[in-house]
Amino acid sequence: MNKDEFYDMFSNLIDFRKNDFHPLVWINGDPEIGQDVFIGGLSEVYAKGARVVIGDHCDIASYVSINCSDSHKKTIGLTEDIERADIIIENNVYIGTHSFIGGGTHIGHHSVVGAGTIVPKGEYPPYSLIVGNPAVVKVGYYRDKLPKGQTE
């Protein structure tokens, strides 16, 4: 069995559709993914029922979950529906390993999400450093660190 045959069999068994990133990246729905994007193994991009956009030149490390849906209120009986909200990740964003980006999140360009960060819904300005759980945001942290001409 060659690599492609194995991957096809593997994909059928575990419902991971073939993608350009890594055989163990799980992409569900139809996210809009820009040019020159890296997504590491065992990461998830879940875009069923909401718009998920990942801009150009983003680097998403391994074990990252980008998930537009939240079913906790349905599970405990507070609502009949799964909540879903858009996720926008602008250009040139780095998301560190073991991070979570939930629905209703908008991360501005040239921002960094540190490893292990839980990013709650909200607006995060360009050039931000977002770290921790709960997330702490250092607005504009990278604005003056980039070479002239690289800021939008």
Q: Is residue 84 part of a domain?
A: yes
**pLDDT tens digits, one per residue of 10-22:** 777 776 777 888 8
Distance CA 135, CA 142 (A): 17
How many C-beta atoms surround the C-beta of residue 112 within 10 A?
20
Residue 152 is predicted with a pLDDT of: 57
Q: Is residue 143 part of a domain?
A: no
| Structural domain for 37, as ranges | 3-131
Q: Which residue has the higher pLDDT, 8 or 70?
A: 70
Average confidence (pLDDT) over 105-112:
98
Average confidence (pLDDT) over 142-149:
85
**Does the pLDDT of residue 50 top 70, yes or no?**
yes
Q: Is residue 144 part of a domain?
A: no
Residue 18 is predicted with a pLDDT of: 79
Average pLDDT, the chain: 93
Q: Is residue 35 part of a domain?
A: yes
Structural domains counted in the chain: 1
Residue 13 is predicted with a pLDDT of: 77
Q: The domain spanning residue 60 has which CATH number?
A: 2.160.10.10
Q: Is residue 51 part of a domain?
A: yes
**pLDDT tens digits, one per residue of 73-96:** 999 999 999 999 999 999 999 999
- Reading the block at residue 63, the tokens are 């074990």
Residue 17 is predicted with a pLDDT of: 77
Q: Is residue 140 part of a domain?
A: no
**Does the pLDDT of residue 151 top 70, yes or no?**
no
CA angle 145, 150, 152 (to 5 degrees): 105
How far from 117 is each of 7, 17, 49, 97, CA to CA, in Å?
A: 31, 27, 24, 9
Q: Is residue 11 part of a domain?
A: yes
Q: Which residue has the higher pLDDT, 50 or 20?
A: 50
**pTM, full prediction:** 0.91
Q: Is residue 44 part of a domain?
A: yes
Average confidence (pLDDT) over 98-120:
98
